[in-house]
């Protein structure tokens, strides 16, 4: 099954719920790609020997890797960490996540500042571009096992919104303007 993504409603109900609009408005992989979000579907049961994962890591320079089990039983200060992950922020580098087990949501902002919810399930590998506003939460399963990939030594610094003047945010929005401007010219 391919990655599922949709525009979110404005409800303040439990963040772990799907938050579909009524009617549901799904988002295509092409639209995510226009925002700079990359996606691969891999075999999570063979991640240690997966040649496709190895190829992606080599081509993109992902030389750092660790695993994160995120659930109440395995993470100290679980509620606080989940609140931090769900605070809207950007990073100076790409955020690369590969779901090995469980499930959760990455929310990203589109060019019109609308939230798009990306449902990560086993086998989904996504790359969020540097400078995109995003956040993360678990779904109602309350468990996800993620592989975190990085180029070089990881820097986990999150810059909470607003960050419109941050150089990486400016670079990201400039790229979006160029991409969407080209798409408009093509039609």
Closest CA to 60 of 125, 137, 120: 125
Known binding residue 134? Answer is: yes
Known binding residue 166? Answer is: no
Beta bridge partners, 119, equal 4, 105
- In the block, residue with structure tokens 């990560």: 120
Known binding residue 20? Answer is: no
> Residues near 117 by Cβ (< 8 Å), separated by ≥ 6?
5, 6, 7, 8, 18, 19, 105, 106, 107
Give CA–CA dist 23/21, Å, rounded: 5
Residue ranges at the known binding site: 89, 91, 95, 134
Q: Which residues define the annotated binding site for Ni(2+)?
A: 89, 91, 95, 134
Annotated binding site for Fe(2+): 89, 91, 95, 134
């Amino acid at each position: 099954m391919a990655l599922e993504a949709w525009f979110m409603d404005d409800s303040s109900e439990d963040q772990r719920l799907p938050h579909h609009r009524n009617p549901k408005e799904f988002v295509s992989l092409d639209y995510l790609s226009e925002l700079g979000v990359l996606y691969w579907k891999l075999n999570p049961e063979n991640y240690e020997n997966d040649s496709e994962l190895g190829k992606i890591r080599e081509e993109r320079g992902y030389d750092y890797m660790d695993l994160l089990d995120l659930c109440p039983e395995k993470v100290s200060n679980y509620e606080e960490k989940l609140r931090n992950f769900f605070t809207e922020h950007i990073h100076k580098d790409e955020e690369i996540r590969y779901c090995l087990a469980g499930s959760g949501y990455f929310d990203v902002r589109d060019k019109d500042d609308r939230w798009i919810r990306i449902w990560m399930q086993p086998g989904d590998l996504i790359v969020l571009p540097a400078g995109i506003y995003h956040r993360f939460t678990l779904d109602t399963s309350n468990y996800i096992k993620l592989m975190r990939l990085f180029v070089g030594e990881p820097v986990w610094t999150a810059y909470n919104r607003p960050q419109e003047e941050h150089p990486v945010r400016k670079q990201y929005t400039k790229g979006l303007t160029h991409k969407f401007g080209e798409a408009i010219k093509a039609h």
